Amino acid sequence: MSSVFVLLKYAALSVRLQAAVPALAPAAAHAHVVAAYEVATEQVSPELLLAIAFVESRFDPTATSRVEGRVRRTGSYPSTRPPAGLDTRASLYCGPLQTFAASWGQCLAARDLRVAYAAGVAEIQRWLGDRRVRGNVSRALAGHGCGNFGVTSGSCNGYPGRVLGMEQRFQVGSARPHVAPSRGSSRALASS
């Protein structure tokens, strides 16, 4: 594939992303598109990855879902210092795709879009390979959004539908209107 074709592909998706999410700065849209394209697979498209990042964090690299004391806190956490009451035994989800992080260091690493999107692909691929999911993207998304409960119940507060709806908006030929700036993610956007 020629480098000109690749650049045009990136530019076209950046324009579609910008049209669907006008609040996202053009440079940020392009950076997310490049990171998504670099790790996309046949099963996990760049549009799907971008849709996950939109639903989870509205593309916020500093988004975290963490337990402080006994309370789950979600949303933007721009500090590089771990929260004072961070429970290191509790689940930690970080970056624009809200992927699992085993430590605060891994959480900070997810602020790098290349790391974040690679972790997102790995998580979705793992769910797609789960014998209970059997390659079903909607069930894999339920797993990503709600863990084992999502996979076993097939339910996740409409998460798979929201992600798949956004994926369609980012695809070629989409003529859907832009997205309102409302908030509402499964992990990152609940009020802190």
- Domain membership flag for residue 118: yes
- Domain membership flag for residue 94: yes
Which burial class, exposed, middle or buried, applies to 89 when counting CB atoms under 10 A from its CB (0-12, 13-18, 19+)? exposed
pLDDT digits (tens, 9 = 90+) for 2-18: 888 888 999 999 999 99
Q: Range of 134's domain? A: 3-170
- Domain membership flag for residue 186: no
Instruction: Reduce the secondary structure of 45-71 to three states and give it as a string.
Output: CHHHHHHHHHHHHCCCCCEEEEEECCE
- Domain membership flag for residue 120: yes
- Domain membership flag for residue 102: yes
- Domain membership flag for residue 181: no
* Whole-angstrom distance, CA of residue 66 vs CA of residue 49: 22
pLDDT at 88: 87
pLDDT digits (tens, 9 = 90+) for 109-148: 999 999 999 999 999 999 999 999 999 999 999 999 999 9
Structurally, how many domains does the chain consist of?
Answer: 1
- Domain membership flag for residue 107: yes
The region, left, alpha or beta by phi > 0 then psi within -120 to 50, assigned to residue 79 is: beta
pLDDT at 6: 82
DSSP-assigned letters across all residues of 140-165:
HHHHHHHHHHHHHHS-STTHHHHHHH
- Domain membership flag for residue 187: no
Q: Which residue has the higher pLDDT, 130 or 70?
A: 130
